[in-house]
Structure 1
Amino acid sequence: MKTKILIVLALLAFGSNVTTQAQKLKKFGSSVEKKIGPKTIKVPYTDVVSYLGYAAPGNEDEVKDGKKFYYIYVWIPAVAPELGVRMMSPVGKTKVKGATLSQAYQDNAGSKDYFDTYVTLERSDIISKDNISEDAVKSANWVTLERNDDSSEMPKQPSGSSYNSLLRYKSQASDPLKALTVGLYRIGFTTYKTGEVKGTFLAQVAAPIKLPGVVMAKTIADLKKGL
């Protein structure tokens, strides 16, 4: 009996440790690497904008290739050499300074639901704040610049799997379709596996230079309020 109790306690401790690990978020490193002693690290991004949200079945923005996609719209106010995007689910007890807290997140902050994140970075052909509207966004041309499913750089989920996402995209100034110019972008997210997207999430957009005026919002109406 004593042996069984010890095994149960060990399993509980392991589960607690996995949950704790899932809540630790390191600094968001850029693609630039720097050697410090025997270690090589990615130099942290200078500018990081964070958004805390909650995704639920039925609230998807679009069904694309058979998958339910959700979007977070991002206004980028200046030319950037690189953008990084990462997403973690669930948020758990992770504290993020200066993050935008959506109402959906505040209403569901205690939820233990999470999903296998899959993210895309997309750029539209809208380059002026004055041209942003619901209709304009629906008819805009969207180009997928980069995508990511699983990243070993991200914290593991409570299941112990590395199913959180991170991508970095360098501007290709010689190609107008692939350059990081001023304009309206969006983070698309879904789940790679079959199933519903449900749970709290932290989404971050980062750059290696200061970009004053970056705005992230779940809806175009909320985005316009922040511009």
Structure 2
Amino acid sequence: MKTRILILLSAFALIFSVDAQAQKLKKFGGLTEKKIGPKTIKVPYTEVVSYMGYAAPGNEDEVKDGKKFYYIYVWIPAVAPELGVRMMSPVAGAKIKNATKSKSYEENAGSKDFFDTYITLERSSIISKDNITEEGVKSAKWTTLAKNDDSSEMPKQPSGSSYNSLLRYKSEASDPLKALTVGLYRVGFTTFKTGEVKGTFLAQVAAPIKLPGVVMAKTIEDLKKQFK
């Protein structure tokens, strides 16, 4: 009997430690590295914008390559040398300063559901706020700049797997299609594995310079409200 109790306690302790670890995010560092003593670290981004949401079957934005994609739209108000994007699921009570929280997140903040994140960073052909409309976004040309499935730099999920995502993209000024210019971007996300996307998530977009006026929203309507 005592042996069984000890096994159960050990199992609960393991689950708790993994779940607690999943809430700890390191500082978001960019491509620039700095040596401090024997360690080499990525210099933290100076601009980090956070969005907390909840994804569920049925509210996906598009089916692409057989996968259900969800989008978070991002307005970048100035030329940037580099952008970083990372996503964690589940959020499970993580305290993130100045994060935009969607209504769906607030309604499901206690959910323990999570998904194997897969993210993309896309830039649109829209470079003016005046052209940001539902129809304008649908007809815009979207260019995929970077994508990521699993990152060992991110906290492990409650399952113990490193299935959270992180990408960094450096602007290519010599190529108009790959340069990080002023304009409308979006973070696309789905699950790499077969199955539904369901659970709370934290998405962050970061840059190595201050970009006053960066806005993130799940819908074009909500994005435009933040411009006012």
User: What range describes the TM-score normalised by the shorter chain of this pair?
Assistant: over 0.9
Distance 1:221 1:93 in 2: 27
Residue aligning to 1:163: 163
**Structure 2: which amino acid aligns with 1:176?**
P
Residue in structure 2 matched with residue 150 of structure 1 by the alignment:
150
Offset of residue 8 of structure 1 = 1.4
Q: What SS does structure 1 have at the residue aligned with 2:115?
A: coil
Tell me the percent identity. Answer: 81
Give the alignment's Cα RMSD to 1 decimal.
0.5
Q: CA deviation at 1:123?
A: 0.2
Cα distance in 2 for partners of 1:93, 1:103 equals: 15
Where does structure 1 differ by over 6 angstroms across 4 or more consecutive aligned residues? none
Residue 3 of structure 2 aligns with an amino acid whose one-letter code is T
- Secondary structure of the 2:33 match is strand
Report the number of matched residues.
227
TM-score by length of 1: 0.99
Contact 2:88 2:202 in 1 (8 A): yes
CA distance in 2, matches of 1:34, 1:100: 31
CA contact (8 A) 2:93 2:109 kept: no
Q: Is the Cα contact below 8 Å between 2:61 and 2:70 reproduced in 1? A: yes
What are the Cα deviations for residues 196-222 of structure 1, in whole angstroms up to 9, with x where unaligned?
000000000000000000000000000
How far apart are residue 56 of structure 1 and its match?
0.5
- Aligned equivalents of 1:210 and 1:88: distance in 2? 23
Secondary structure of residue in 2 paired with 1:155: coil
Question: How far did residue 93 of structure 1 move?
Answer: 2.0
The AA in structure 2 aligned to 1:203 is A
CA distance in structure 2 between the aligned counterparts of 1:108 and 1:4, rounded to whole angstroms = 35
CA distance in 1, matches of 2:92, 2:207: 25
Aligned to 2:28: 28
Kindly report which structure 2 residues correspond to 1:197-216, keeping only aligned pairs within 5 A, or say none: 197-216=197-216
User: What is the CA-CA distance between 1:6 and the residue it aligns to?
Assistant: 1.1
Shift of 1:184: 0.2
The gaps in structure 1 that reach 5 residues or longer are none
Q: Distance in 2 between matches of 1:53 and 1:6?
A: 38
Equivalent AA in structure 1 for residue 20 of structure 2: T
Match of 1:225 in 2: 225
> Superposition pairs for residues 11-26 of structure 1, below 5 Å?
11-26=11-26
- Asked if structure 1 preserves the Cα contact closer than 8 Å seen for 2:119 and 2:189, the reply is yes
Letter of the 2:160 partner, please give it. G
Match of 1:38 in 2: 38
Question: Cα offset for 1:2?
Answer: 1.4
2:189 matched residue in structure 1: 189
SS in 2 for 1:196: coil
**Secondary structure in 2 aligned to 1:24?**
coil
SS in 2 for 1:90: coil
TM-score by length of 2: 0.99
